[in-house]
Amino acid sequence: MQEAGWYLRSDIIWNQTNPAPESVKDRPTSAHEYVFLLTKKERYYYDAEAVKEPSKDVNAINSATPLPPRNRRDVWEIAMQPYKGAHFAVFAPALVEPCILAGTSARGGCPDCGTPWQRVVSKRAGPTPTADWTETLGWRPDCRHYERMDEWVALPKQGKTEADKAYQKRISPLVKLRAELLKNWESAPTIPCVVLDPFGGSGTTALVANRHGRAAVLIELNPEYVQLAWRDSAE
């Protein structure tokens, strides 16, 4: 894949908490698979906020102060799920879900070009230097098909010797502009983001995508699996 021009951004371990038994005596039983995060560009859409996980900081176990959710790790403990059909290798919905949530926008995409909208997040200090509380303020388009798109600006960082009040006064015009733009875009039209599964199987990807308001396109060579996918979508 890398030779074909793809970037390997993460190799995720799917830790199967209930792996299928194996009658092997000369090696450990296989209890994991890989999930590869591959991209075609160095910069790509990834919604980290949508897939955050509860913090497991050992220093906060006995603390009364809750910690903010943390960035998702690359080891996912997900149980395999039984399936009543003839397919022998069905994805667990819990495995598909974070892939869809991270790779597509909950707000949707631009009707003209499909570019997913970006989440706008504010941060405030948490109980530790590395744990910030975050809040979603809204969504903004990331293409040039919307009025005043070129007015969206990033907030400058606070200087090391700059007082909090001085910093807030300096960025207040930008904060007001961003709030105005977010409000202006609340009613702007979007289309659902599309999830492509080139190995559709029993249709788990489509079921999870539709559950979260995304569209899905599946490709599957086996007619029996196609019938399973149609059956499950109708239930």
Domain boundaries, the chain: 81-104+193-235
Q: What is the pLDDT of residues 91-121, one digit of tens each?
A: 789 999 999 999 999 999 999 999 999 999 9
Distance CA 148, CA 140 (A): 11
pLDDT at 84 over 70: no
pLDDT score of 55: 84
- For residue 148, give every residue at least 6 positions away whose Cβ sits within 8 Å of its Cβ, in sequence order, or none: 181, 184
pLDDT score of 87: 45
Residue keyed to tokens 């790779």? 103
Least confident of 50-59, 106-115, 190-199, 208-217: 50-59
Q: What is the pLDDT of residues 64-81, one digit of tens each?
A: 677 889 999 999 999 887
List the Cα angle 223/229/232 in 5-degree steps: 140
3-state SS assignment for residue 228 = helix
